Structure 1
């Protein structure tokens, strides 16, 4: 290959559809501070996602930080070690103690039984992640939280548009947090959002992302600057009309991979568990012993061919942060970290590019 193939590439709106937004920004002179496109994007996302209240942010990490602050948590938060660094970092930044428990071997999400076993008198909340857009067992997590009086905040960075049992997964928990990073199904270049269930909570979140300011003469808390600017919001508005087509193309990419890889012993596609509305955000595979080479070896072999797959998530977050936590406490997550590889996936990935990936896998493992 002469051109590198990366694990993802962002879907971009047609330039001619974006330019009118830029012209309006230049005419208005409004660049940030809850401008008209910011407001339009919140309403458009609220309608698209089927949620009651949404507050958009300049990035997903700030959205996580403010969500945690808005819930006024203190103590320990049970979460997953099999996630991106931002999940754990946001807890640490808010002075909370992450408690890592194991994951389910099928969904790769938090195991509700493991959550129960980890609850102490210091536990204040549960922070699950809808890994790869696969819905967590929200019913079981809700039951545990209600029984023990715990808050639930979902890291839904991967779960834009995902529905389960006829309802948006973003409606679950006390709060849910999205990422609109360029690598995501829907992006505003950088960006994120918090989904909540009341006008009062949205007002609190909106204030906290604007330094905690109530009015010109008063601030209710030490907030941060998490506001989304007008350029990002306009980019998001330009993205939305093409999203349905992008998801259809992703579905085709997903199925083509599944059909091709089913012929290669030792590779298992991580199943999609959303019943009716997955978003095909990633294409993770499990490299089993039958494959004949390790996930690490396959990753390196593909990289040598300019195919840049990613080991999401390796190493595990506690290892990455050099935390003194025994990996034997979460053996399923530790095993998944050694076996999961995400192949290139995007709405613009061509069948020819997929064939390059598939043929490279066949070539490096010596199977046909």
Structure 2
């Protein structure tokens, strides 16, 4: 295909490899450059390889830059790419502060270029469908929104990189906690369904952060976020569960509730008058494909930077607020599996679900 968009990917190992594969599989995209201090990996011989993202952006004429790099580098690299005339796909979490969010939004406007944020869940048609169902009256008036995330992560996970398990290193935010990295999609999706986009849409945050692991950030957390207009989002998030559950967004109403499983793009409508829920499935669009169509045809972005300001407001509160409290040792089980060690918290599944259902933190519930 002629006139393919020229793409450079910074950070090509781990999650970044998925971006490389997406570009290579797309007929309208060309992988012209990659950057990673660990080497470029398995890429075509025609792809230029760099050890440094700045060098790649400076040296190569790119239409799109994909940034899958540590969070402290996001704002600077994205601004550089925009200044060089490229559009950007920026991995989550996008930036580490509200000030960086505003500055990068201004840079996108000044450059007449786009920044799409890698919250893959926002590529699903189910997000808008859930918001529409909440507004339709099918479950009565909305009482509040919730998010539930229950995953498992080993002690080794928190040592996967020098920045892992930290909120801040050398004064630079890294935000590797459960609410801001592994289960960040839960918050971002809940905010999207609740209609919260800008930092100013968040007017209050009650964050009750806990940890079972010997880390400097949270692995078991509850938050109640008050939004402009009076709505609330209550999130119970943990990577200390004994087994992995599919995370979901809850919308609790006066005559029923909605459960949107954002990893599966399915909406379950529970109405008080019905014995069984109704389930709907939705299609998901690749955010890189959507960005390419935006560049070529002017399609609306599904996860534009401006839509993630509420999330960044909460991230900033978590990073700059009090450190997470250690969970009592009698509530922690330590088990080995497949060469890794896992710390699980007794009762965490019920506690997290109650946070979302009752819109109260662990502290207010008197649990954990």
- Scaled by the length of structure 2, what TM-score is found? 0.31
Relative to total residues, which structure has the larger helix share, 1 or 2?
1
Relative to total residues, which structure has the larger strand share, 1 or 2?
2
**Which structure's relative contact order is higher, taking Cα pairs within 8 Å and 6+ residues apart?**
1
